[in-house]
């Protein structure tokens, strides 16, 4: 036990309520991520010089992309959570599968769902799928940043027990101090990836088809794997073989796909 433990900030997950209607930090975080990502994406397509002659989606195409990706994230995120994180429960309770308002989403599944939606949209618009994918990859870290901060405010997805000076006792995690791993993820998966991709884009990254998408996959996978060393595994799964977690294992294919896309972009 550390001599000092940082107090968990007493932030109400509900910002304001009007009778049965409540505005929560979690919902506000995702709305902020979507809106800022949408504005950032529009700024990218308004600068043809960044693309080096590549086909660029229009601002109207981006509106469609937002809708397609939203559905893809919800469907893919829920499907992966059911299959990889809590299959036994959902086999016993199939009526709970569509109850996403009770929680239970996988980022890796959401990414696969979003990628599938982008393929469908690209065929409909007769545009290269990687033009959409590179834009989406540039803006996704904004959502990750805000989403992980919201996880912290909600006091969920906490870290492992530790004695570091900045350990916190989370309200629903028992009396022991833990890593604020949500903030680690906000930095590694959100802020760092956002800054690196922005710098790469300013230096011509969008001129190489798929490079930004591949770099996002590599950076996110490495950040997620690093964060998993501090994050408490899902209770229904625990640790897998060799101390690995499901988050680590699902990040490995993403890492491989990212490296492949980066290598492919060099040959294009």
DSSP state of 164: -
pLDDT tens for 193-217 read 999 999 999 999 999 999 999 999 9
Cα–Cα distances (Å) from 33 to 100, 141, 143, 153, in that order, read 19, 9, 4, 16
Residue 109 and residue 221: Cα distance in Å, rounded? 13
Average pLDDT score over the chain: 89
Lowest mean pLDDT among 27-31, 150-154, 172-176, 230-234: 27-31
Say yes or no to pLDDT of 2 above 60.
no
Mean pLDDT of 125-142: 95
**pTM, full prediction:** 0.88
Between CA 144 and CA 38 the distance in angstroms is: 14
Angstrom distance (rounded) from CA 41 to CA 35: 10
Helix, strand, coil percentages (3-state) for the chain, rounded to 5, are 65, 5, 30
Q: How confident is the model at residue 22 (pLDDT cuts 50, 70, 90)?
A: low
Secondary element (H or E) of residue 21 = strand 21-24
Q: Which two tokens stand for residue 119?
A: 């393929």
Q: Are 153 and 11 in contact (CB under 8 A)?
A: yes
136 vs 122: CA distance, rounded Å: 13
Sign, CA dihedral 178-243-110-38, equals positive
Q: Does residue 263 or residue 31 have the better pLDDT?
A: 263
What is the C-alpha to C-alpha distance for residues 137 and 102, in angstroms, rounded to an integer? Answer: 27
Q: How far apart are CA 103 and CA 183, in angstroms?
A: 20
Query: 3-state DSSP call for residue 12?
Result: coil
Asked whether the predicted pLDDT for residue 180 surpasses 70, the reply is: yes
Tell me the residue ranges of DSSP E strands in the chain.
14-18, 21-24
Grouping H, G, I as helix, E, B as strand and the rest as coil, residue 246 is helix
Q: Is the pLDDT of residue 237 over 90?
A: no
pLDDT at 268: 63
Burial 77-91 (b: 16+ CB within 10 A, else e): bbbbbbebbbeeebe
Question: Rounded to an integer, what distance in angstroms lies between the CA atom of residue 172 and that of residue 247?
Answer: 22
Tens-digit pLDDT profile for residues 29-62: 778 888 898 999 999 999 999 999 999 999 999 9
Phi, psi values for residue 240, rounded to 5°: -95, -160
Confidence category of residue 13, pLDDT binned at 50, 70, 90: low
Stronger pLDDT, 13 or 113, i.e. the higher one:
113
DSSP string, 29-56: HHHHHHHHHHHHHHHHHT-GGGTTT---
Separate counts of helices (H) and strands (E) for the chain? 9, 2
Determine how many CB atoms are found less than 10 A away from the CB of residue 206: 25
Q: Which pLDDT score, from 0 to 100, does residue 135 have?
A: 96
């Amino acid at each position: 036990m550390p001599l000092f433990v940082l107090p968990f900030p007493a932030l109400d997950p509900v910002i304001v309520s009007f009778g049965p209607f409540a505005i929560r930090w979690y919902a506000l975080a995702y709305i902020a991520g979507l809106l800022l990502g949408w504005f950032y994406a529009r700024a990218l397509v308004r600068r043809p010089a960044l693309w080096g002659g590549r086909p660029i989606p229009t601002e109207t195409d981006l509106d469609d992309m937002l809708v397609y990706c939203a559905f893809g994230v919800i469907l893919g995120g829920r499907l992966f959570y059911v299959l990889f994180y809590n299959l036994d429960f959902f086999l016993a309770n199939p009526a709970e599968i569509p109850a996403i308002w009770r929680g239970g989403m996988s980022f890796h599944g959401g990414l696969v769902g979003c990628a599938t939606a982008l393929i469908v949209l690209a065929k409909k618009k007769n545009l290269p799928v990687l033009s959409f994918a590179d834009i989406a990859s540039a803006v996704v870290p904004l959502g990750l940043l805000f989403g992980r901060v919201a996880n912290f405010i909600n006091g969920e997805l906490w870290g492992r027990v530790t004695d570091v000076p900045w350990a916190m006792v989370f309200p629903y995690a028992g009396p022991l101090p833990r890593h604020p791993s949500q903030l680690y993820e906000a930095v590694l998966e959100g802020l760092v990836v956002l800054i690196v991709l922005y710098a790469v884009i300013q230096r011509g990254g969008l001129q190489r088809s798929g490079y930004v998408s591949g770099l996002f996959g590599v950076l996110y996978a490495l950040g997620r794997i690093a964060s998993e060393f501090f994050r408490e595994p899902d209770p229904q799964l625990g640790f897998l073989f060799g101390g690995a977690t499901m988050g680590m294992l699902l990040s490995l294919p993403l890492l491989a796909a990212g490296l492949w896309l980066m290598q492919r972009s060099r040959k294009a």
